Structure 1
């Protein structure tokens, strides 16, 4: 983890301390939650227990999906600035997340339940392709 000065909108009067954590590979959602808990504990003021649980749930869902459906995590980044925490999970699959339709519980289908949770908790959610045919999912949550 490190601290850096971030200048939003190019205006030095809006400078704020930005906290970041980054790791290239994760082997489990447990490991991602540990990193996230540690990261959130460095913030001042500390996030409420409700915010902490929301961030941990988003991290867990995104990392689990990358591990289960996308051949693993190839990048994991956390950032915090201006009352927002950003979670980024990168994987090597070009397939975008999908959502199951309500009432669609065919046991032959695999997945689709966590994405609505992530969509509900995140204020801003983007999925963008990477140069190596993978993707980065970025979720921003209020602190």
Structure 2
């Protein structure tokens, strides 16, 4: 498969994480790809963090090439993400640890607008059963 690219802009609202998951699911289907089961979870984490910690629009891009899906989320905050250890009673602070453990790789880079946070996970062509004659 040659490289594929798609991007969206979301408002800084809680429902943007759901919209980002839906957009990703539809785009992967259009490309004929299946991401690992937890790709949508990681998309939710990055978009939710962007909505929670930055102001303004959130941009998400997906690209797929060489068996990897790369998700990039850009927001207006220049503060880089930092995984934190959560106590047993914390209701949050585990998202970046999930991204770290479940992705093939992740990171962040500063941009002229703020920062871009990315992760990569494997993708594959869906298994199609042959039609019986």
TM over 0.5: yes
Aligned equivalents of 1:58, 1:105: Cα separation in 2: 22
Segments ≥4 residues shifted beyond 3 Å: 104-107
Q: Could you say which structure has the greater relative contact order, defined with CA pairs below 8 angstroms and 6 or more residues apart?
A: 2
In the alignment of these two chains, the number of paired residues is: 120
Give the aligned CA root-mean-square deviation in angstroms: 2.0
TM-score, normalized by length of structure 1?
Answer: 0.74
Q: TM-score of the superposition, structure 2-length normalised?
A: 0.79
Residue 75 of structure 1, CA deviation: 1.4
Superposed CA deviations along residues 43-75 of structure 1, whole A, max 9, x for unmatched, are 33x316xx1x31101100000010011225431
Equivalent of residue 61 in structure 2, options 77, 91, 102? 77
- 1:90 aligns to what? 74
| Contact 1:63–1:73, Cα closer than 8 Å, also in 2 | no
Q: Could you tell me which runs of 5 or more consecutive residues in structure 1 were left unpaired when the two chains were aligned.
A: 1-15
Partners of 2:83 and 2:94 within 8 A in 1: yes
- In structure 2, runs of 5+ residues without a counterpart are 124-133
* Contact 2:85 2:94 (C-alpha < 8 Å) held by counterparts: no
Q: 1 or 2, which has the higher helix percentage?
A: 1
Supply the distance in 1 between the matched residues of 2:56 and 2:88 (Cα, whole angstroms).
26
The alpha-carbon distance between structure 1 residues 102 and 31, as it changes in their structure 2 partners (threshold 3 A), is closer
Once the two structures are TM-superposed, the CA of residue 135 in structure 1 deviates from its matched residue by: 0.2
